[in-house]
């Protein structure tokens, strides 16, 4: 270990070190290893535990309001729907920090995380989901366009590898 | 009559004092260098970092025209003028900066006997023209009236004193060996490449060249991660294109000088190309300069940025003595060899 500690050298040793650094760079330049996932064509499959967009199921919701109460970012809010006595939650993705508190606190399992995370919006208003819009299935736009899902594998040589799933 | 006029215009454009600064090796060639070099830089850095780099603009060629797309974007972007800026200086300094990177092309010989304006003192002239750019950078940083630009300007002022002296001394070490300050005479006199004769001067010149153009590891002035873009923080649109282009142009100018001082300039001459235009005879100069440029931008992926104090220390405690040593080396060579 002690040999690895950096010691400032004289002119010759530092020249040698520079040469070594440049050689390492050149070696990487000539290798064909790549870690990038070419996103719209491939999509990393994030699996179950990922905290992405939140799915709400209206038929399960008991309108307890706990989700709105616990939300630390004030993203979840209760809305009154026309013709309904109960209030239902809606979410504002301008504020949501994907902490998952709402999912954890929901006593009726009406909220859950999905692995979908790659959405973009043209207008800020689109990011607010009132209960009518909230109760829909999330789909990754890339997957809809035909992206191939890949999974991440740790690799001794490259670091990360992506294998088709 | 029209053919006569057109002929005269063509002759005028092809005459060295127009052709050299505006077409080759000047503006047009430099634009080409700029467009391909920045792409190559991004591509090489990406490769070293296990990424792809620009890819989707003209995918079969690996995103080769990404820079054209970027240039078009900059052209149509709104150039924003900060309310508290000194408007005239803010707008004109980038233009002047670009101008001072183009003027040197008139004095850099591109082929045997082909130079825009033949002056006996082309070496100090070219170097001092590019030395006019740092004050302009200072002017932009002051004019933009913003804390980041000001910090960048102060850094530029410090850096300027760190590299300028060593750059000039290293160049003059070579000049003193050949006993002339004219670039074309230096190239003609070079039978052995200068980098073998005086490797110290070559090393010092190369490092100070990186410092001048603020390329990594010396992009302290711009220092993207700490001070946004240094003196250029407030620029957008076409003005930003000018200031960004100017630093690459400066690197291109200096690498041409580097090749003429240390790598044998336009030798070997390719006479076959002279039939297109006499300037292309010296295409080796361009190719060598391009390789030097590629190496210079490749270093971006190898090094991390130095701190300002480290760069100053390198400038004054390492490069300056080495530059002086290179002068002594040259004089010693003169004594031993009895003149070139
Ligand atoms: S994930 Fe967190 S921030 Fe987002 S709505 Fe739920 S509680 Fe609020
Ligand atoms: S916590 Fe669950 S059940 Fe209660 S209002 Fe929110 S979504 Fe409905």
Of B48, B50, B318, which has the smallest distance from its Cβ to A25's Cβ? B48
Quote the pLDDT of residue A3. 63
Of A11, A25, A159, which has the smallest distance from its Cβ to B298's Cβ? A25
Q: Which two tokens stand for residue B68?
A: 């054209």
In B, which residues are within 8 Å of A25 by CB distance? 48, 298-299, 301-302
Interface of A with B (CB under 8 A): 11, 21-22, 24-25, 28-29, 33-36, 38, 158-159
CB of A162 closer than 8 Å to CB of A150: yes
The segments of chain A whose pLDDT lies below 70 read 1-3
Sign of the dihedral through C-alpha B116, B121, B123, B129: negative
Quote the pLDDT of residue A76. 92
CB atoms within 10 A of CB A155: 13
Partners of A56 in beta bridges: A111
Question: pLDDT averaged over chain B?
Answer: 84
- Counting Cβ atoms within 10 Å, is residue B107 exposed (0-12), middle (13-18) or buried (19+)? buried
CB of A112 closer than 8 Å to CB of A135: no
Q: Which residue has the tokens 């009895």?
A: B338
Residue whose Cα lies nearest atom 8 of ligand 2: it is: A61
Q: Which residue has the tokens 């003429």?
A: B260
Phi, psi of A78 (to 5 degrees): -90, 135
Q: 3-state DSSP call for residue B283?
A: helix
CB atoms within 10 A of CB B241: 21
Taking the CA of residue A68 as reference, the ligand 2 atom at the shortest distance is 6
The pLDDT confidence band at residue B340, using thresholds 50, 70 and 90, is: very low
Q: Which two tokens stand for residue B204?
A: 């010092």
CA pair distance B100, B97, nearest whole angstrom: 5
Quote the pLDDT of residue A157. 76
Of A21, A36, A159, which has the smallest distance from its Cβ to B302's Cβ? A21
Sheet containing A42-44: order of strands? A42-44, A148-155, A159-164
CB atoms within 10 A of CB A51: 15
Higher pLDDT, B192 or B201: B201
Q: Whole domain around residue B116: which residue ranges?
A: 3-339
CB pairs under 8 A between A and B: 34
CA pair distance A110, A102, nearest whole angstrom: 10
Q: 3-state DSSP call for residue B117?
A: coil
Phi, psi of A157 (to 5 degrees): -90, -50
Instruction: Specify whether the backbone of B85 is left (phi greater than 0), alpha (psi in -120 to 50) or beta.
Output: beta
Selection from B310, B303, B311, B151 nearest residue B216 by Cα: B303
Ligand whose nearest atom lies closest to the CA of A56: 2
Ligand 2 pocket, A61 CB below 6 A? yes
CB atoms within 10 A of CB B118: 16
Distance A96 CA to ligand 1 centre (A): 5
Q: Is it the case that residue B32 has pLDDT exceeding 50?
A: yes
Q: Which two tokens stand for residue B1?
A: 């009559």
pLDDT, one tens digit per residue, over B90-124 is 888 889 988 888 888 888 888 887 787 888 888 88
Q: Using a 6 Å CB cutoff, which residues line ligand 1?
A: A 70-71, 73, 75-76, 91, 96-102
Task: Calculate the dihedral angle through the C-alpha atoms of B54, B56, B62, B64, rounding to the nearest 10 degrees.
Answer: -70
CA pair distance A81, B49, nearest whole angstrom: 52
pLDDT, one tens digit per residue, over B294-320 is 999 898 888 888 888 888 888 888 889
Q: Which residue has the tokens 């070594």?
A: A20
Higher pLDDT, B62 or B127: B127
Quote the pLDDT of residue A2. 56
Beta carbons of A22 and B51 less than 8 Å apart: no
The total number of residues shown for chain A amounts to 165
Q: Which two tokens stand for residue B322?
A: 């080495």
If one counts the domains in chain B, the total is: 1
CA pair distance A31, B324, nearest whole angstrom: 40
Phi, psi of A155 (to 5 degrees): -135, 135
- Counting Cβ atoms within 10 Å, is residue A145 exposed (0-12), middle (13-18) or buried (19+)? exposed
Which run of H or E residues covers position B101? Answer: helix B87-102
CA pair distance A149, A140, nearest whole angstrom: 11
Q: Is it the case that residue B52 has pLDDT exceeding 60?
A: yes
Q: Which two tokens stand for residue B338?
A: 């009895």
The pLDDT confidence band at residue B2, using thresholds 50, 70 and 90, is: low
Quote the pLDDT of residue A67. 92
CB of B282 closer than 8 Å to CB of B266: yes
Distance A95 CA to ligand 1 centre (A): 8
Degrees, nearest 5: CA angle B152-B153-B159: 90
Chain A nearest-CA distance from B29, in A, is 26
Residue whose Cα lies nearest atom 4 of ligand 2: it is: A64
CB of B323 closer than 8 Å to CB of B174: no
């Amino acid at each position: 270990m002690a040999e690895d500690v950096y010691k400032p050298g004289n002119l010759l040793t530092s020249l040698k070190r520079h040469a070594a650094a440049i050689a390492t760079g050149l070696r990487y330049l000539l290798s064909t290893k790549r870690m990038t996932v070419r996103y719209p064509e491939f999509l990393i499959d994030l699996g179950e535990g990922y905290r992405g967009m939140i799915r709400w199921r209206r038929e399960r919701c008991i309108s307890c309001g706990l989700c709105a109460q616990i939300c630390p970012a004030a993203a979840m809010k209760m809305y009154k729907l026309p013709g309904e006595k109960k209030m239902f939650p809606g979410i504002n993705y301008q504020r949501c920090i994907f902490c998952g508190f709402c999912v954890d606190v929901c006593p009726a399992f009406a909220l859950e995380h999905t692995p979908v995370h790659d959405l973009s919006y043209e207008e800020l208003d689109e990011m607010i989901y009132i209960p009518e819009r909230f109760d829909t299935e999330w789909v990754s736009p890339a997957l809809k366009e035909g992206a191939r899902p890949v999974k991440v594998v740790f690799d001794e040589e490259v670091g990360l590898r992506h294998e088709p799933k | 009559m029209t053919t006569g006029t057109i002929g005269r215009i063509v002759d005028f454009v092809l005459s060295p004092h127009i052709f050299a600064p505006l077409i080759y090796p000047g503006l047009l060639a430099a634009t080409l260098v700029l467009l391909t070099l920045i792409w190559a830089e991004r591509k090489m850095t990406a490769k070293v970092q296990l990424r792809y780099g620009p890819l989707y603009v003209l995918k079969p060629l690996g995103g080769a025209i990404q820079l054209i797309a970027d240039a078009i974007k900059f052209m149509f972007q709104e150039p924003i003028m900060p309310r508290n800026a000194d408007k005239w200086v803010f707008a004109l300094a980038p233009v002047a900066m670009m101008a001072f990177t183009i003027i040197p092309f008139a004095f850099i010989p591109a082929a045997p006997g082909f130079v825009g304006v033949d002056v006996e003192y082309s070496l100090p002239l070219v170097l001092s023209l590019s030395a006019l750019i740092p004050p302009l950078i200072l002017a932009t940083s002051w004019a933009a009236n913003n804390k980041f630009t000001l910090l960048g300007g102060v850094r530029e002022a410090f850096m300027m004193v760190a590299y300028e002296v060593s750059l000039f001394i290293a160049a003059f070490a070579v000049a003193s060996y050949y006993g002339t300050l004219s670039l074309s005479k230096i190239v003609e006199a070079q039978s052995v490449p200068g980098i073998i004769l005086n490797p110290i001067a070559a090393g010092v010149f190369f490092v100070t060249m990186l410092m001048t153009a603020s390329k990594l590891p010396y992009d302290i002035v711009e220092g993207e991660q700490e001070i946004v873009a240094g003196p250029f923080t407030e620029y957008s649109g076409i003005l930003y294109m000018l200031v960004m282009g100017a630093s690459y142009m400066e690197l291109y100018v200096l690498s041409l000088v580097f090749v003429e001082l240390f790598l044998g300039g336009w030798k070997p001459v390719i006479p076959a190309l002279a039939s297109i235009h006499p300037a292309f005879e010296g295409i080796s100069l361009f190719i060598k300069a391009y390789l030097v440029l590629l190496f210079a931008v490749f270093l971006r992926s190898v090094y991390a940025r130095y701190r300002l104090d480290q760069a100053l220390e390198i400038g004054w405690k390492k490069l300056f003595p080495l530059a002086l040593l290179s002068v002594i080396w040259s004089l010693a060579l003169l004594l031993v060899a009895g003149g070139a």
